Amino acid sequence: MKSLKILGLCLFLSSIVLGKEVKIIAYNWGYEPKEVILKKDEPVKLTLISREGEHGLGSKDLKFNLQATPEKSESVDIIPTKVGEFTGKCTVPCGAGHKKMDFKIIVE
Ligand SMILES: [Cu+2]
């Protein structure tokens, strides 16, 4: 019983240290998923993976800018400090549908 409590505590602490990771896949021309829900003041690792071509994902509000190719993904650790709905956009001129590459980040 005591060891279960210790195990639970370890899992709890590691989730704080490691945080959670959200993987976003970019393609011509969009994102999968199209939106994510994050928790205010909770550290999160955002990873951008490209399925085809070079794409970016950046948000001025949340202060990150990722770029990825099928050979190389990129990650950033952020802590959202404001509740609200924020927009992410592709930051690499990637072709015909570039301007349609919108992403929604909800912080609650
Ligand atoms: Cu683009």
Domain extents in the chain: 20-107
Residue 26 CA to ligand 1 center (angstroms) comes to 9
Torsion, Cα 102 24 45 42, to 10 degrees, reads 60
Q: Looking at the whole model, is its pTM more than 0.85?
A: no
The span from the CA of 85 to the CA of 104, in Å, is 7
pLDDT at position 7: 55
Instruction: Name the class of domain 20-107.
Output: mainly beta
Residue 22 CA to ligand 1 center (angstroms) comes to 20
Residue 13 CA to ligand 1 center (angstroms) comes to 38
Residue 60 CA to ligand 1 center (angstroms) comes to 16
Residue 103 CA to ligand 1 center (angstroms) comes to 12
Residue 31 CA to ligand 1 center (angstroms) comes to 11
The string of pLDDT tens digits covering residues 31-46 is: 999 999 999 999 999 9
Pairing of strands 102-107, 35-38: parallel
Question: Ligand 1 being an ion, which residues bring their Cβ within 5 A of it?
Answer: 90, 92, 94, 98
pLDDT at position 40: 97
The string of pLDDT tens digits covering residues 26-80 is: 999 999 999 999 999 999 999 999 999 999 999 999 999 999 999 999 999 999 9
The CA angle 69-73-79, to the nearest 5 degrees, is 135
The span from the CA of 20 to the CA of 72, in Å, is 20
Check whether 10 has a pLDDT greater than 60. no
